[in-house]
Structure formats: structure tokens, C-alpha cells
Structure 1
Amino acid sequence: MSFRIRAARQDDLQYLYEMAKLTGGGFTNLPPDRDALRGKLTRSEAAFARTDDGIEDELFVLVLENIETGEVRGTCQIFTQVGQRWPFYSYRIGTLTKHSEELGRTFRAELLNLTNDLEGCSEVGGLFLHPNERAGGLGMLLARSRYLFIRAHRARFADRVLAELRGIIDEGGGSPFWDGVAGRFFGMSFQEADEFNAVHGNQFIADLMPKHPIYIAMLPDSARQVIGLPHPTGRAAMRMLEREGFQYEKYVDIFDGGPTMIAPTDRVRTIENARDAEIAHIGEGSEDVLLATGRLTDFRAAYGRVSAEDDGAITLDVAGAQALGVAAGDTLSYIER
């Protein structure tokens, strides 16, 4: 089977809804709510329709399409600048040091500080791959296509990019971190807060969350032990982010305590190392690569094979050309798999 990444459309709603029901909770960017998903698609269509450069508060939704059947089997999202419509909250883990001369001891306490430090960053998120397609590198295709999209539209994205990884969720769909921290102030379960945030935004966090630092040592063990840890299904995603140059800088999600990864946009490996080339021939390639071409609604990404010519042009394999809808004389971006 052949797959490609393309811009999402309104007629992808049912596919997105069916995938959202498979996420298992804690997946704010893909809520199992038709109206919320429809709103995301509408917002994304507006972003794709704007042709001038400059950073605005926008969302781009991409989907993974089976070229043979037309079915959508995965999705991912890119936010151009977080914290513009609603404040973007994170917990920053800090250290408070105190010394007692009488006791001759130094005490160091870790604190959770509610911050808006990451406001204004771009964000890659909302990545979900249908469970039946989790082979053949399709998760990597979804993830890295976002960076090639950013590269193709660099002026519309910030100088830093972040990725929030889902934190630990228990078998009942609850969050030990939420129960030990925020749940005590909100009077609602993690599932209720997560669903409300996905549909209505997180202004209620600003209204109800205490602004003073929280001593981690005072939290229950169940909450302390999961701070900064990704959900087991997100460990591979965390490794992919690290390979791209993202780092964990002690920011965690305010709902589930999952890690937030951050990188300078221009130093993301795929963005920094991708090359542009003209297609000289359609034939047989020798190197397995990730390909991308087009702008905005014409953006496409897929796997293919290329061979470099002496003049910097490339030969592209037939399957890759068909997936992208390109021919000799067209230009594309590529990077090794």
C-alpha cells in the first residue's frame, strides 16, 4: 500500500472522529467530539487559504491518506503560535534551596511553578496513527511531514517549536498527576477536565488554578512518580523528538504531568538538513527518503527513492512521483529516512 500526507478537508471529519474514539483519553488535540473536530477543520481550512506570510494564530491539520482506497488512517497538527487565543500554561519544575546554620544542613525542594513561558512558540501535536497501520514507518512519516511543512512555510512559524507528550494515564482513564494536583482544586475528574479543555479551551485553568508554587514533596507518591514521564505509547514519539533535536527542559503538562519537548525551529534536524532539488527523471532511485512538495493545500509528503545527479538534480522513483503527483521538471524537498 502507498500512503501520502495531505491537507485535511471537511469531508475527513468522519475519519477523524473514528480515530478520536480510539485514543483512550488524555488526547486533547483530537477529542471525540464532532463539533470540536469540525471547528478544527474549519480553522485549518482558513489557515490553508491564507496565502500571505507572517505569523498569526493558526492551526494546520494534515492527514495520512491511503492512496489506493482514499481512506484516512492517521493525522497530525501544527499550531503556528500558541497562547494567543487562550493563555498557554505549563508547570516548570524549579528548585528552591535553603540553608540552616543551626542545623548545618542545606535543603533543596523541587517546586511546580505555573508559567506562560512557552507562549508564542509553534507546536507540533495531535499525531495519531490508526492501530492497524502501526508498521512500515507511517508514524515517522506523519511526524516528520510536519517539519517539512514548517520548512516550506517558514515565515509563518515561530523561532521555537514545542511538542507536548501525553502523560501517564491509569487503566481507568484517570491521571495520577491530575488527582494529586489540579483535581483537588477543580472538583472534576481528569476525563471531565480533559474533555472540557478540548472543546472550550483552558481559560478555566486561569480562573481556578492556584498561582503559588506547589512543593512536589507534598504530593502523593502516585503523582510524584509520573511527573515528566510520557505515556508508554508515547515513548517512541519521545525518542523521535530527541533525534530531531528536541529536549526536555523541565516543563510538564498541567493536566497529566507529561513532558513538554522544545527545540529551536531552524535546528530541528529535518528542517535543517532537508535539501531541495529539481526532478530530472522519473525512473528508479537508490536512496530511501522522505519527500515533500507543494505549498498550503497542494502540500504533499510521502516516502520514495531518489538518486542524485552530478548537477544537483535527482531521479525520482515512479511510486514516489505518483504519491506526490509530480513529474520531471518539478522541484521537491527530500531527506534521508
Structure 2
Amino acid sequence: MTFVIRSANADDLQHLYEMAKRTGGGFTNLPPDRKALIAKLERGAAAFARTDDELGDDLFVFVLENTATGEVRGTCQIFSAVGLKWPFYSYRIGALTQHSEELGRTFRADILNLSTDLEGASEVGGLFLHPGERAGGLGMLIARSRYLFIRNHRARFADRCIAELRGVIDEAGGSPFWDGVAGRFFGMNFQDADEFNAKFGNQFIADLMPKHPVYIAMLSEAAKAVIGVPHPSGRAAMRMLEEEGFAWENYIDIFDGGPTMTVRTDQIRSIREAQDDQVVAIDPALGDHKRGDKRLLATGKLAGFRTTYGWVEQREGGIALDPGGAAVLGIEPGMSVTHVARG
């Protein structure tokens, strides 16, 4: 079977809703709320339709489709620039060092500082893959398709890119970090706050959250233990981000304490290593006869953007593709395709 990443549209609402119900909470970019998902799809449609090639407040939503069955089995998103309409808050882990002459001792206290350092960065997020498809490199296909889209629409994205990883959620659906920090100042539990954030944004946090530093030593052991720790289901995603060049620079999510990864956009590995070539042949011998290399292929602009796996072989004047990959992308000889190594 063959899968393709394509732009999401209104017909994908039910598929997205069904996937959203499987996330298990703390997944604010894919809320199990039809109105919120409709708003995302409408915002995405406006972003794909915008013709001026400039950085804006865009959201691009993509889905992973099984081309044989038409089923949607995954999704991902790109925010062109966060914090343009309201502040984008994170906690930055810092330190305060103080010295006592009388005691002859120096004390170092780790603190959480409310920060808007990451405002204006592009964000890759909203990645979800149906549990039945978590094999065969489909997670990598979804994740890296976003970087190829950014590369081929570079003027629409910032020079810094971030990725927020969901933090630790306990068996009851609560967040030890929320309970230890923000939950002390709000009259709602984590599930209610998470749902509100998914629907309306986190401005209420900015309005009500104390602005002074939080001393980590004063938090509960349960809260301290999950600071900067990804949800178990996000560990593979964290490794993929690190392989692309993302790093954790002590920024964490204000809700669940999960790590926020950062990278300079042009240093993302898939962006640096991708290349454009003209297709000079469609060759049925590729792949099945151990010829060529399996690579990520991308073509098209905006709503016409598509990504899949295909077999590529260098030829004089360009590359040859396997018929399957070419068919999924609608590629014919003479057309150009973006490609990058699978591994």
C-alpha cells in the first residue's frame, strides 16, 4: 500500500475528530472538539489559498492518506509564526546564585521564568499517527514532510523553528506539573485547562499566572520529576527531532512541563540535505530489483503539495523514479521533484 501526505480539507473533519479522540489528553493542537477542528481546517484553507509569499499568521494542516483505501491515518501541522496575535508563553529554566559571607556558602536555586523568548518562531506540531500504522517509517514520513514544505515555501517561515512535546500525563489523565505549578492559581484541573487551551488559546494563563519566578525547590517531588520530560509516547518524536538538529534549551510548556525543542530553520537536516532534480525517466525496475535508493519525495506548492516515499536512481541529466512514487505525486518525465534520503 502507498501513503501520501497532502493538505487537509473540510472532508477530513471526521477523520481528524476520530484521531483526536485517541490522543489521550494534553494534545492541544488536535483537540477532540468539532468546532475547534473546523476552525483549524478553515484557517488552514486560508493559509493554503494565500498567494503573497510572505511570513504571516498561518496554520498549515496536513493528513496522511492511504491512497489505496482513501483512509486518513495521520496528521501534522505547521504554524508559520507563533505569538503574533497573543503572547506565546514558555517557562525557561534558569538559575539564581546567591552568596552569604557570614555562612561562607554559595547557594544556587533553579527557577522557572515565564518567557516569551520564542515568539515569532515557526512551530511544527500536531503530529499524530494512528496506532495501527506505527511501523514502516510512516511517522518519519509525516514529521519530515513538514520540513520539505518549509523548504519549498521558505519565505513564509521564520528563521527559528520550535516543536513542543507533550509532557507527562498520569494514569488518571492529570498532569503532575500542572498540579504543582499553574493548578495552584486556577480553579480548574488539568483536563479542563487543557480543553480550554485547545479551544481558545492560552491567553487566560497570561492573564492569571503570577509573573514572578517559580523556585523549583518549592515544587512537589512529582512536579519536579517531570520538568522537561516528554510523554512516553513522545520519546520517539523527540529522537526524530534531535536527528533533525533540534535541541532542548531549557524551555518547557507552561501546562504540562514537556520540553520545547528549538533549531535554526536553515539548519534542519531535511532542509539542508534536500535537493531538486528533474525527472528524466520512470523506471519499473527501481525498488523491486534492489536498484535505487528509497527517499522522501515532494512536489507541488501550497494546497497542491504532496509527499511520499519513492525509489530514486541518479541518471544523466537528473533522476529516475519508480512508477508507484511517480503516480502518487503525479510526476512525469520533465517535471522537477524535491527529494532527500529516507534515513
TM range (shorter): over 0.9
1:238-277 matches, within 5 Å, as 238-277=238-277
**TM-score computed with the length of structure 2 as normaliser:** 0.97
Which residue matches 1:314?
Answer: 319
> Are positions 1:335 and 2:336 aligned together?
no
Asked if residue 326 in structure 1 is aligned to residue 331 in structure 2, the reply is: yes
For 1:189-208, what aligned pairs fall within 5 Å after superposition?
189-208=189-208
- The separation in 2 between residues aligned to 1:76 and 1:264, in whole angstroms, is 20
Which residue is 1:293 aligned to? 299
In 2: Cα distance, 1:86 partner to 1:155 partner: 22
Q: Deviations over 1:80-139 (max 9, x none)?
A: 000012210000000000111111111100000001000000000000000111110000
Q: Deviations over 1:310-331 (max 9, x none)?
A: 33x0000011101111111110
Structure 2 counterpart of 1:42, one-letter code: E
Equivalents in 1 of 2:306, 2:227: separation in Å? 37
Q: Which residue matches 1:87?
A: 87
TM-fit CA distance, 1:201: 1.1
Equivalents in 2 of 1:13, 1:177: separation in Å?
32
The one-letter code matched in structure 1 to 2:325 is: G
Partner of 2:182: 182
Instruction: Read off the aligned partner of 2:296 and give its amino acid letter.
Output: L
Give 3-state SS (helix, strand or coil) of 2:185's partner.
helix
**TM superposition shift of 1:263:** 0.3
Counterpart for residue 54 of structure 1: 54
Counterpart of 1:132 in structure 2 is 132
In 1, the alpha carbon distance for the partners of 2:25 and 2:77 equals 17
Within 2, Cα distance between the matches of 1:92 and 1:6? 35
C-alpha distance in 2 between matches for 1:310 and 1:241: 34
Rounded to whole Å, the distance in 1 between the matches of 2:329 and 2:172 is: 42
- For residues 171 and 78 of structure 1, the distance between their equivalents in structure 2, rounded to whole angstroms, comes to 29
Which structure 1 residue ranges, 5 or more long, are not aligned? Answer: none
Q: Which sits farther off after the overlay, 280-289 or 65-74?
A: 280-289
**1:36-66: per-residue Cα shift (whole Å, max 9, x none)?**
0000000000000011111010100000000
CA shift at 1:255, angstroms?
A: 0.2
Distance 1:97 1:291 in 2: 51
1:303 match: 309
1:186 is paired with a residue whose SS is coil
Q: Determine the C-alpha separation between the residues in 2 that align with 1:227 and 1:246.
A: 18
CA RMSD of aligned residues (A): 0.6
Aligned to 2:5: 5
Identity %: 69
Q: Deviations over 1:209-236 (max 9, x none)?
A: 0000000000000000000000000001
What's the offset of the Cα at 1:68? 0.5
Q: Per-residue CA shift, 1:250-275, capped at 9, x if unaligned? A: 00000000000000000000001101
Q: Is 1:164 equivalent to 2:154 in the alignment?
A: no
Matched letter for residue 2 of structure 1: T
Name the SS for the 1:272 alignment partner: helix
Alpha-carbon distance in 1 for matches of 2:175, 2:201: 19
Note the alpha carbon deviations across 1:142-168, whole angstroms, 9 max, x for none: 000000000010000000000000000
Find runs of 4+ consecutive structure 1 residues off by over 6 angstroms. none
Q: What is the TM-score when the length of structure 1 is the normalising length?
A: 0.99
Residue type matched to 1:333 in 2? T
Q: Structure 2: 5+ residue runs without aligned partners?
A: 287-291
Partner of 1:101: 101
* Amino acid corresponding to residue 293 of structure 1 in structure 2: T
Q: Give the Cα separation in 2 of the matches to 1:201 and 1:26.
A: 13
Distance 1:233 1:201 in 2: 24
Q: Deviations over 1:158-211 (max 9, x none)?
A: 000000000000000000000000000011100000000010111101110000
Query: C-alpha separation between the residues in 1 aligned to 2:197 and 2:7?
Result: 25
